[in-house]
Chain A
Amino acid sequence: GIQVEQSPPDLILQEGANSTLRCNFSDSVNNLQWFHQNPWGQLINLFYIPSGTKQNGRLSATTVATERYSLLYISSSQTTDSGVYFCAVGSEYGNKLVFGAGTILRVKS
Chain B
Amino acid sequence: DVKVTQSSRYLVKRTGEKVFLECVQDMDHENMFWYRQDPGLGLRLIYFSYDVKMKEKGDIPEGYSVSREKKERFSLILESASTNQTSMYLCASSHDSGYGYTFGSGTRLTVV
Contact = CB atoms under 8 A, between A and B. Distances in A.
A97 B99 CA distance: 11
A102 B56 contact: no
A41 B88 contact: yes
Contacts, number: 59
Nearest to B103: A43
B42 A99 contact: yes
B76 interface: no
23 contacts: A31-B98, A33-B98, A35-B103, A40-B105, A41-B106, A41-B108, A42-B105, A43-B103, A45-B101, A48-B99, A88-B43, A90-B98, A93-B50, A94-B31, A94-B48, A94-B50, A95-B96, A95-B97, A97-B45, A99-B42, A99-B44, A100-B42, A102-B42
Interface of B: 31, 33, 35, 42-45, 48, 50, 56, 58-59, 88, 90, 92, 94, 96-103, 105-106, 108
A30 interface: yes
Interface of A: 1, 30-31, 33, 35, 40-45, 48, 86, 88, 90, 93-102
Contacts of B97: 95
Nearest to A32: B98
